[in-house]
Structure 1
């Protein structure tokens, strides 16, 4: 994305640890109702992104992202609902590759294309083909860099940002009021207010984010068919990113997570039948990350 004044350096390698604590899940299906307390929802995440082509008229970068998500219930030995038992017993994983393409023009216009594909869910199972866990997304945008302080773009995405496979519009707007304050947004996924110290070694954010994922999972061992866990939530967060040594940074983040969707369906389309309908209480979320950025001398 063409940058504006005040933006931080892009993250090349990210290692993140996240935790959501103590919330209630209530479920309803044809087999009845159930509820339980989730003591911990933990997540490890690793991201790598690097440029492949850097020319004035064409830029391309590639990335890989891997994360594993775990749910631990209060008193797991007392669980008598198959979905809870399976959620406690196994991790939900995702591994995917990304291609980012930016095509500037001789004017202030630019084009962006992002392609992403990978495996989501319990893909370590030998009972199913890896293709049963494959998810693909694509987004395309056309934008304008008005000046060094303002850029915006419009486009469309086909992805699982709302938990289910869907097509929706994208609006990108970045504005820096000065060297310290700015707004960054990729709607509907994220909007954040940015503040940085004058030496640009500390960044502070207040933001709202939409998180979505779609996992292919087994409802219980007795059934051979896969079902799809459609997960989406909105988060309201405060974060701080601090330079350790030029290219090495850390970040801490905390706030409130509010569930939108955590249902199981018979397939991953937007109009599918719900197999189990779940509701989750609001909960506190916090994370810690270490990440690598390009050294300053490389950007001169």
Structure 2
């Protein structure tokens, strides 16, 4: 029975161009245009990741005064799942779920009673989100993309607040063109928390494969990466820079029982190696430098919110290990 279930999962994952590599074809008026280019790896359907950020210092300033501490443990577990729900030549849709929990442990604080450190150490940051991905190809060289994401961020297990107090929503529509089998690009706009606070900003996507092994993938300002694969397609290497951002609803003062908002954003410079274990099962190793942009506590999630606790973080080394599932090659032929 477990083997049969795995076969069904693989079949579903391999059927969707949103999740798996499409056959490469030129866009003409007789076929539907697909956004994929030569050299892209098979998409990840199930991902389990463990991440660790090495020790770094945090310096804080608020109405409670100034303080600093060393963050000795900053760890994160992450789980992702994606699967198609509509499969038609002229329209594809896939759905996914993402869950992660992030933990902090402080050492050597100047002020042992500093509320921000106490609450962050005793309460993990959590997120559970559902995602919808849509692709609308046309019979020209044009295609449309839409991503919707919604879920709960922060201390949503608290019984003191309604779940909608922790609700976050984002949307990213794009319109794209495929120049040929090696080049595609798209433009759009994002309403999200990519910079830590709720904001709207433009998106520019550009995928270019120089040959079957080398390529570049970008969706600015979120990510830019250089890709290289071995000839047997069992190893992929990346050098990349990426923006990480989120916003958490948390309680800072138990007595007041008010919600505040942690604006978290950072840029990462990473080297990645992904290696096939057995066709559909892969592992990934990643490491590099994380540089903080924003880690402030605000009274609101909007771009114009007032800062309650201003924090400065040192740069730190980050690394992670992941296991993930991709569609088997024989189901993509």
Report if TM-score (shorter chain) is over 0.5. Answer: yes
- Displacement after TM superposition at 1:163 (Å): 0.4
1:32 paired residue number = 65
State TM-score, norm by structure 1: 0.98
Q: 4+ runs of 1 displaced by more than 3 Å?
A: 75-78
Count residues in correspondence.
300
Question: d(CA) in 1 for partners of 2:103 and 2:150?
Answer: 22
1:178 paired residue number = 211
Query: SS where residue 144 of structure 2 aligns?
Result: strand
Question: d(CA) in 2 for partners of 1:76 and 1:246?
Answer: 48
Cα RMSD between the aligned structures?
A: 1.1
- Displacement after TM superposition at 1:220 (Å): 2.3
1:22 paired residue number = 55
2:102 to 53, 66, 69: 69
Moved more, 72-81 or 263-272: 72-81
Question: d(CA) in 2 for partners of 1:147 and 1:59?
Answer: 21
2:222 to 186, 189, 193: 189
Query: SS where residue 83 of structure 1 aligns?
Result: helix
2:87 paired residue number = 54
1:153 paired residue number = 186
Question: d(CA) in 2 for partners of 1:12 and 1:54?
Answer: 16
Question: d(CA) in 1 for partners of 2:268 and 2:113?
Answer: 31
Query: SS where residue 54 of structure 2 aligns?
Result: strand
- Displacement after TM superposition at 1:237 (Å): 0.3
2:265 paired residue number = 232
2:131 to 95, 98, 108: 98
Query: SS where residue 143 of structure 2 aligns?
Result: strand
| Contact 1:76/1:88 (<8 A) preserved | no
Deviations 1:73-110, CA, capped at 9 Å, x for gaps: 12579722001001111111000000000000010100
- Displacement after TM superposition at 1:212 (Å): 0.1
Runs of 5+ consecutive residues of structure 2 not aligned to the other structure: 1-17, 19-34
Query: SS where residue 86 of structure 1 aligns?
Result: helix
Query: SS where residue 55 of structure 2 aligns?
Result: strand
2:330 paired residue number = 297
Question: d(CA) in 1 for partners of 2:147 and 2:246?
Answer: 17
Give yes or no for the alignment of 1:214 onto 2:214.
no
Which one has a larger percent strand, Structure 1 or Structure 2?
Answer: 1
Give yes or no for the alignment of 1:126 onto 2:159.
yes
Q: Would the alpha carbon gap of residues 151 and 114 (structure 1) be closer, same or farther in structure 2, given more than 3 Å must change?
A: same
Question: d(CA) in 1 for partners of 2:274 and 2:256?
Answer: 46
Question: d(CA) in 2 for partners of 1:204 and 1:75?
Answer: 38
| Contact 2:69/2:110 (<8 A) preserved | no
Question: d(CA) in 1 for partners of 2:83 and 2:284?
Answer: 20
2:14 paired residue number = none
Question: d(CA) in 1 for partners of 2:158 and 2:110?
Answer: 23
Query: SS where residue 46 of structure 1 aligns?
Result: strand
Give yes or no for the alignment of 1:43 onto 2:76.
yes
| Contact 2:69/2:108 (<8 A) preserved | no
